[in-house]
Structures are given as C-alpha cells and as structure tokens.
Amino acid sequence: MSTHSSELLSDDGIAPEEVLLLVPSKEDTSVSVASGDREIVALLAAGASMADAVLPRAAPARPEQLLLVSS
C-alpha cells in the first residue's frame, strides 16, 4: 500500500524496516527502506512518529507549481 496518510503512518506498530520510500525522478523511481536512512532513524529514536519522520520528504519541492496544472 502507498500512503501519505499521517494517521496510518502514526501507528506505533510500524517499524522502519516496513516502510519503503518512493522517490520519483524524471527517468524512474528509486525505492529505499526507511531503516536505511540515518536521519529517519535518528528522528524515530528521538521520539518522532513515522509520519513526522517521513512525510516531510513526500511534500512537493515547489508546491506553487501545482497551481499550474490545468484540468
């Protein structure tokens, strides 16, 4: 399952080994495990929820460009 849901990712039962980070580029999408990311592991060790540790990475780099998409 793929999600941006803060509620789902805030579940204490989710281990960093169970979270895959999908990072799109122009050519493809790379996948990494949250447990392999030092920053995420440090945030979790400091008491952050999985949502707080990974969701900032899911935010668009330039959200103002989302307004440029026409229907």
Domain extents in the chain: 6-68
Q: What is the chain's Cα-based Rg? A: 14
Q: Is the pLDDT of residue 49 over 90?
A: yes
pTM equals: 0.76
> CA nearest 4: which of 71, 68, 63, 58?
58
> CA nearest 52: which of 18, 11, 8, 10?
10
**Mean of pLDDT values over 18-33:** 90
**Mean of pLDDT values over 44-62:** 88
- Answer with the residue of higher pLDDT: 59 or 13: 13
Task: Tell me what pLDDT residue 68 has.
Answer: 66
